[in-house]
Amino acid sequence: MSGTSGQQAQDWLEEVRWNEAGLVPAVAQDARTGRVLMVAWMNREALAETAATGRAVYWSRSRGRLWRKGEESGNVQRVRAIRLDCDGDVVLLEVEQAGGVACHTGRERCFYRELRDGRWETVEPVLRDPAEMYGAGGGA
């Protein structure tokens, strides 16, 4: 990722339409396959750090702090491109997903359930045991 500095760094952040909580939804997409891996939230600090470091950083609403993807699991997301939608209210991260697992359930992506005959069915396998990634307590 190419970082910017000074006033120019602030200008691009001003173009993001942050919600009332100061957050914007961020979609993580596999840069190679185009598959949507997950959706999370970013605040200004998370987006700025992501742009500066090339590593996906999100805002964890449950923890109330920055969440550097892979900090516990090792499943880091290397960001290849950052895009902003036409309304300026959704960020798209094109990423390379380390370990092939983006979801805390041990699956490739968080969208592993599909609506079939009026119920949600799990249609994608667990690739890595969550206990291996997070210990017995699990995590995201």
Mean of per-residue pLDDT scores for the chain: 92
Task: State how far the Cα of 20 lies from the Cα of 107, in Å rounded to an integer.
Answer: 32
Model pTM score:
0.87
Domain 6-100: what homologous superfamily? Answer: Phosphoribosyl-AMP cyclohydrolase (3.10.20.810)
- Output the CA torsion sign for 131, 137, 37, 2: negative
Residue 103 confidence (pLDDT) above 70: yes
pLDDT tens column, 123-138: 999 999 999 888 765 5
What's the pLDDT tens digit per position in 51-63?
A: 999 999 999 999 9
- Helix residue spans in the chain (DSSP H): 6-14, 44-53, 130-134
Spatial neighbors of 109 by CB under 8 A, at least 6 apart, are 35, 36, 37, 38, 102, 103, 124
Burial 1-30 (b: 16+ CB within 10 A, else e): eeeeeeeeeeeeeeebebeeeebbebbbbb
